[in-house]
Structure 1
Amino acid sequence: MSGVTQEDFEWTPRRRRAATLLTCAWLGYLIPICVSVATEPPGAPMLVFAIVGLAAYVVFFVRLIHVGMQRPFRLAAPYALIGLIAVGVLLMVPIGSTWRYAFPYYLVAILPGQLPPRWWIPSQVTTLVATTVVAVGYGDRGVSLIGYVASVAAVALFTSMFFWLLRTMVLLRMARAEMARLAVSEERLRIARDLHDVLGQRLAAVALLSDLAGRLAGSDPERARQQSAEAGRLAREALEEVRATVSGFRDSSLTGELSTAQALLAAAGIGCVLSAPDAGSVPAPLADVAGWVVREGVTNVVRHSRAGTARITVRSADPVVVEVADDGHGDATSPYGNGLTGLRERVTALGGAVHTERVDGWYRLWAELPVTAPGGRVAAAAGAS
């Protein structure tokens, strides 16, 4: 990722000015160069060329620093970089060995901040090779040559590591910000999914009980009162669960869901066959998801199936199997809606699977929840950790 800008560094104008001044401190090494030119001046034409060249070099250098602070690691000022290199090479003519020794240090120090990271090693190696060739051409040999090239290589390594660490810190900050954004998005999805699951069944039950109470108001007032009271109880439960869902602390009780499912099916005039003799022995994390299977399955039966009978089965072996079947008009080939999609996400998170099929006139929705999670962990322990 080379598209790092000054905003990613979170620099205030004061910090940016301080970083620019600190980087421009490299220009302090021009002082001995200027002293050398003043004490041992070349001929008049070469002296003018040296002064103009040094001024142009400073302009190019400051330009690169300024642009590099705004668009680092992007080759944002290629002409300034080419001009800096060209002027630096030409200054070897009027100034001589003093500049020849200093210029490679400037070059290896400024390149990492101006080039994309994939170019750092090739550019630094090229600079070191050119430095060695020029030094040998000027007669450097033996220990002096090795020491000079080694010092330039050390500066190249130091500056490259500095810019690498700086860039890594910026990218880590960007990654943390992206993770925070994704966490917020995931939490929104969780809340949306939970609200759908909570309100879907509860509001369907309230609507059914309210309609039933209205129909019974004239013929059976006592039963109508009971249905109205039940609708009020479910509405209050839905309100409590919505509050708990937003806080992220709601669990779904399997036994409670089975009881609610029977009441809901009875209110809808659908017969219920319940087979869950050992539902209370299902491990807690699996019982929570199993409750969601019952809730989603029964909600779909009431709202969509136009069934006469529903069958709910819970088997607590390994894997735990929770099944909701009905003799209505469910289509096993239709795409999953929001409820079944959210249910599948919950089940697969525990290493299980959700299945649907239509066979012998019955539409079946069932989930398999392994007691032993992938990797040999017990699902109960995994969910509690």
Structure 2
Amino acid sequence: MTEDPRTGTHRPEDRMWVGRPPRNRRDLLIKLLWIGVWLVFLSSPLQDLISGDHGTGATVAGSAGLTAFVGFYLTLVFRNMGRPFSARAVIVLLAVLCVLAVFLAGTLGTPWLGLFVYLSVACGATLPLRAAYWAIPGSAALMYLVGLYAGEDQAIGLVVLVLLIGFAMTGIRQLVRTTVELREARATVAQLAANEERLRLARDLHDLLGHSLSLITLKSELAGRMLPGDPAKAAQQVADIEQVSRQALVDVREAVTGYRRPRLAAELAGTRVALTAAGVTAEVPAEPDLTGVGEDAESALAWVLREAVTNVVRHSGADRCVVQLLHRQTLDGPRLELSVEDNGSGGSGTGPGNGLTGLAERLEKAGGTLEAGRARRGFRLVARVPTATSVDVGSGA
């Protein structure tokens, strides 16, 4: 965690999200890399082509068939990550893959049986689950028959491999779907929370201003009726209107200040969501114990937590963050201590940035202190504020 952005740091918008189509060239390359890793089963067909055991015509036909097979496979699986083909197009492409696998393995020999692994993976990745549960065993059975035709006596071992990889792909597909649903549910919860906060603000403003505005309207009408015949009483009504409007303005300012003041409980909940969304393992206390902590001190700690977590997510490159909130007895009296520690790079070591300086000033106004620096395995920030007990002791002395 650090105040100074550096080149090469990890940001949430740069991370690769599961279940989302590629958003830029970097995402595209990563997706292709992950898919390309599984092309290892093509080593046997390639070696068979290079070995020279086949004639020129068979080698050319095998190379063209292998190229077509890989092209159809990558098109089908990669397109399924973003905007999938229609059901009819998926079936046609799977049928093409099946025909190519049967033809190549049946004519060129057992080294080409590995193509059925990709057929099984394509079935598990693109077909509905109920259809995939039938198509994957069907691919394994078809591979076994082709293997027997090609003279492969150990085809049963390849059958197990095709089954395992195919059904593993269905499990990965379910995991991706669950991840997407959780992301959508989290966004829905956040939207509902925002709507609830708007409704609460509307209710509070109605309660604050409803009576005052009604009273101002009533007194304005009275002043209007009294103005021609009794200017003194009308002036009194105008004075009352001024007093009520000033009090309403004070109430609104206090309400807005309360809404703008961050709360530590809300910041802790937001911290857990932000770190998890950024791929950082988070250890965050569930409910803060704010016994004896004033509003200004709580607000200062909330600002510290928000700034610290922002730095962890944006600049540190950490994959683990621990947030602790403890009551401690110090030489200056009891304190509430907030610590945020990560296992990131720890910053550039050029001194505190403007953010940390601002937090230290905010804490100082609340009677607290701020410590920040490198830890054994990353960066650690500690903020302390006094509790009510320490204030009482000081006043009694």
The TM-score with structure 1 as length reference comes to: 0.52
Partners of 1:76 and 1:245 lie apart in 2 by: 59
- Deviation of 1:145 (Å): 5.8
Report % sequence identity.
33
The residue number in structure 1 matching 2:105 is: 92
Change (3 A) 1:148 1:63: closer
Do structure 1's residue 19 and structure 2's residue 23 form an aligned pair? Answer: no
Partners of 1:108 and 1:244 lie apart in 2 by: 65
Do structure 1's residue 56 and structure 2's residue 68 form an aligned pair? Answer: yes
Partners of 2:248 and 2:21 lie apart in 1 by: 47
Please tell me whether the aligned partners of residues 73 and 115 of structure 1 are also in contact (alpha carbons under 8 angstroms): no
The residue number in structure 2 matching 1:152 is: 162
What amino acid is the match of 1:185?
A: N
Partners of 2:35 and 2:189 lie apart in 1 by: 33
Deviations 1:149-170 (A, max 9, x none): 3332222233222233233223
Deviations 1:109-132 (A, max 9, x none): 233333345644343343344445
Please tell me whether the aligned partners of residues 20 and 69 of structure 1 are also in contact (alpha carbons under 8 angstroms): no
Partners of 1:76 and 1:193 lie apart in 2 by: 54
Partners of 2:22 and 2:225 lie apart in 1 by: 66
Deviations 1:178-231 (A, max 9, x none): 332333333334434443454343212201111112323454455434433332
Kindly report which structure 2 residues correspond to 1:1-385, keeping only aligned pairs within 5 A, or say none: 8-9=20-21, 11-39=23-51, 41-42=53-54, 45-72=57-84, 77-78=89-90, 79-100=92-113, 102-116=114-128, 119-132=131-144, 134=146, 147-246=157-256
Partners of 1:194 and 1:175 lie apart in 2 by: 28
Change (3 A) 1:232 1:7: farther
RMSD: 3.6
Please tell me whether the aligned partners of residues 67 and 77 of structure 1 are also in contact (alpha carbons under 8 angstroms): no
The residue number in structure 1 matching 2:280 is: none
- Deviation of 1:89 (Å): 1.8
Secondary structure at the counterpart of residue 53 of structure 2? coil
- Deviation of 1:23 (Å): 0.5
What amino acid is the match of 2:186?
A: R
Deviations 1:54-103 (A, max 9, x none): 12112212322442343258659524333222211211222222222x12
Partners of 1:128 and 1:121 lie apart in 2 by: 12
How many equivalent residue pairs? 243
Partners of 2:88 and 2:242 lie apart in 1 by: 67
Please tell me whether the aligned partners of residues 109 and 156 of structure 1 are also in contact (alpha carbons under 8 angstroms): yes
Secondary structure at the counterpart of residue 197 of structure 2? helix
What amino acid is the match of 1:191?
A: L
Choose 20-29 or 33-42, whichever is displaced more. 33-42
Deviations 1:264-309 (A, max 9, x none): xxxxxxxxxxxxxxxxxxxxxxxxxxxxxxxxxxxxxxxxxxxxxx
Secondary structure at the counterpart of residue 71 of structure 1? coil
Secondary structure at the counterpart of residue 116 of structure 2? helix
Change (3 A) 1:14 1:117: farther
Choose 45-54 or 87-96, whichever is displaced more. 45-54
For structure 1, the residue ranges without an aligned partner over 5 or more in a row are 251-385
What amino acid is the match of 1:199?
A: L
- Deviation of 1:241 (Å): 3.7
Change (3 A) 1:179 1:249: same
Please tell me whether the aligned partners of residues 64 and 80 of structure 1 are also in contact (alpha carbons under 8 angstroms): yes
Change (3 A) 1:73 1:85: same
Choose 176-185 or 191-200, whichever is displaced more. 191-200
What amino acid is the match of 1:231?
A: I
